[in-house]
Chain A
Amino acid sequence: MEKFTTLTGIAAPMPLINIDTDMILPKQFLKTIKRSGLGVSAFFEMRYDTDGNENPDFVLNKPAYREAQILVAGDNFGTGSSREHAPWALLDFGIRCVISTSFADIFYNNCFKNGILPVVVTPEQLELLMSDAEKGANARISIDLEAQTVMSSDGAVVEFDIDPFRKHCLLNGLDDIGLSLEKSDAIDAFESQADVARPWV
């Protein structure tokens, strides 16, 4: 997994609430057995018309936002399915950070496994960052994970909270399976005890 330390980039505004995983990546793209190549299909139904042409009104099709690395989105982003294909598609498009007032649980988790930083801010802070993002390509937003800050293009600083463990893994690009396997002894011990306590499992 790629590390996430700092990022300065174009932020695309998506003020819609409840952007669900079917919107982020519809099911026809879940048939892949790979993680890669999903970026062209991200936000498929909003991004392309039925003939497959780009919809010029969709934010990521606008010249200013084609290189966006950050999404600033309405409440409850990533609601719906557990498909990790959604963050894979965002990552493949080039998105490394999503900012919203809240995220659906599974999507939130999935981001961390893929080097994407989900940032939770207050409604006031979101409003500030949203209007900044709406300024287009000149308005670059900077994120500093170590310091846990987002800085708008005009220098306003927003602080955010994050779990220390997830922060640590993201900062160092750690594979948490490896970390958990280091605890094999504890897992073995738990299993022996559980085999006695709940042998029917």
Chain B
Amino acid sequence: MVAKTLYDKIWDAHVVNTSDDGMSLLYIDRHFVHEVTSPQAFEGLAMAGRKVRAPEKTVVVPDHNVPTTWDRVNGIENEEGRIQVEALHANVKAFNLPNYYEMNDIRQGIVHIVGPEQGWTLPGMTIVCGDSHTPTHGAFGALAHGIGTSEVEHVLATQTLIQKKAKNMKVEVTGQLRPGVTAKDIALHVIGVTGTGGGTGHVIEYCGEVIEGLSMEGRMTICNLAIEGGARAGMIAPDQTTFDYVRGRTHAPKGAMWEAALTWWKTLRSDEGGHFDKVFEIDAADIAPVVTWGTSPEDVLPITGAVPAPEDFEGGKVAAAERSLDYMGLEPGTPLQEIEIDAVFLGSCTNGRIEDLRAAAAVLKGRRISDRLSTAIVVPGSGLVRLQAEEEGLAEIFKEAGFEWRLAGCSMCLGMNPDQLGPEVRCASTSNRNFEGRQGRGSRTHLMSPAMAAAAAVTGRLTDVRELSELEAAE
């Protein structure tokens, strides 16, 4: 028997056929749909008189445009945003899609948080969505990736995708994590090592004892950022942690079906000798709490570091660094911890899950955020995450610290709704992209973990969360 990787196994189980030229028709088990990348796809279907082939495998939720303020029960004020959400609603009705979570449904949230939460995301599946952060679902040992709108239309019409098999890449994280280092730090550190183009054309399997030791929330954070390393998808072999998370969820299999599924899921790991085209080995001891300083997710440094100079780089990166520093308004040599911030955003599909909120709340408990901050918001990843956080008393901690407590959505991760930052506003953000203009035109984003963002909120500058806990010990 040929030794296969996890990716090979899931791929092989879903190939409908392969042509001589190497292109395959890949069957898609789950299709997640949101309001921004789908209207033109539904329009295309309607114009061609086509139907949705598998409505029961299609899961729909508005997330990018929805306001997160409490008055949204009254509707969306922004006209274009409202039209897009209404178009989604109309398409759900016109194409008879049964699995739909409306804006004011308590189960609504960011599509990549709702899917796993509701048990739509299962090991061994092929999963797509018109959204680049679809690799999040790879945390379950699924092959999950983002697609464009034409491909959304293709999947709606055929429940398949025309694909060429990607290469295999392994990222193994071994050793022991240092205190204060979280899944987000691992993920950003990995991108710092591989570069934003390092994974291009590959599917990454994350493995090693550090990855195995992570919760499902942490694994989702890791896989969420696979795309920022350029990979088509990221995945982690399913294990007991996965099965425990999935068991009992609304759309997870039950009874005899569960047992049958489990038997197959347990075979979903890379065989000894499975071929990887690229391998990165990372020692957990090398990972510190990190922040980004520039406008690419690969611009990552330990919080103890200083802003680099363009001359520290080579090739095209010199000009890119110059541009980044200018955009970010930073001087080379400035210690990162001296950089003052104006805003903090806790949320997104990277870090909007319950564990993320717990980590941030642990730092904020009994503290106040800095007076410097003009904006400090917590946006839970889903309505259910919000409820749970309220039940656990986390919401109170955030509010007492001075944060605004919001309703679920993508929010300031990309600012398609009213949650945007002004020019030159500097933000500590738990999201996934620090691109120019991402959180609002001219705004400046520093990516970091929830605990680090909470620490920054307290001091009003980029802060090593480990020092804050020492402070606490000393008091």
A residues bordering B, Cβ < 8 Å? 15-18, 20, 22-23, 26-28, 30-35, 45, 50, 74-76, 79-84, 87, 102-106, 109-110, 113-114, 163-165, 176-177, 180-181, 183-184, 186-187, 190-191, 194, 197-201
Contact = CB atoms under 8 A, between A and B. Distances in A.
Contacts of B149: 84, 110
Nearest to B163: A109
A118 B26 CA distance: 23
A84 B36 CA distance: 10
A113 to B, nearest CB: 4
Contacts of B437: 22-23, 26, 45
B302 interface: no
A201 B10 CA distance: 14
| Nearest 5 Cβ contacts at the A-B interface | A113-B150, A200-B253, A31-B80, A33-B39, A110-B148
Contact of B132 (A26, A82, A190): A82
Interface in B302-338: 315-317, 319-320, 323
Contacts of A35: 40
A15 B37 contact: no
Given A84-B148, A106-B146, A106-B147, A186 B16 contact: yes
B31 interface: no
B87 interface: yes
A75 B435 contact: no
B261 A198 contact: yes
B70 interface: no
Contact of A22 (B122, B153, B436): B436
A75 B44 CA distance: 32
A187 B27 contact: yes
Interface in B440-455: 441-442
Contacts of A22: 433, 435-438
B267 interface: no
A126 to B, nearest CB: 10
A20 B299 CA distance: 14
A103 B197 CA distance: 8
Given A23-B436, A198-B261, A186 B25 contact: yes
A180 B36 contact: no
Contacts of A187: 16, 25, 27, 53, 158-160
B151 A113 contact: yes
A82 B37 contact: yes
Given A31-B80, A33-B87, A76-B196, A84 B150 contact: yes
B125 A201 contact: yes
A114 B44 CA distance: 13
B59 to A, nearest CB: 13
B364 interface: no
A177 B148 contact: no
Contacts of B264: 198
B interface residue count range (under 10 / 10 to 19 / 20 to 34 / 35 or more): 35 or more
Interface string B116-140: 0000001011000011101000000
B435 A45 contact: no
B283 interface: no
A103 B253 CA distance: 39
B117 to A, nearest CB: 18
B453 to A, nearest CB: 21
A37 to B, nearest CB: 12
Given A16-B319, A105-B201, A198-B261, A79 B230 contact: yes
B416 A79 contact: no
Given A27-B414, A110-B149, 20 more contacts: A18-B197, A18-B296, A22-B436, A31-B36, A31-B83, A33-B39, A33-B43, A50-B442, A75-B197, A84-B37, A102-B197, A104-B197, A105-B201, A106-B148, A113-B150, A165-B23, A180-B160, A183-B160, A186-B17, A200-B261
Contacts of A201: 29, 57, 122, 125
B260 interface: yes
A113 B148 contact: yes
A165 B197 contact: no
B162 A76 contact: no
B423 A50 contact: yes
Interface in B29-58: 29, 36-37, 39-40, 43-44, 48, 50, 53, 57
B201 to A, nearest CB: 7
Interface string B407-438: 00000001110000001000000000101111
B232 A105 contact: yes
Nearest to B81: A31
Nearest to B44: A177
A97 to B, nearest CB: 18
B323 A165 contact: no
B471 interface: no
B339 interface: no
15 contacts: A22-B437, A23-B435, A23-B436, A30-B36, A33-B84, A82-B146, A109-B148, A110-B149, A163-B22, A177-B157, A181-B157, A186-B17, A191-B27, A200-B257, A201-B125
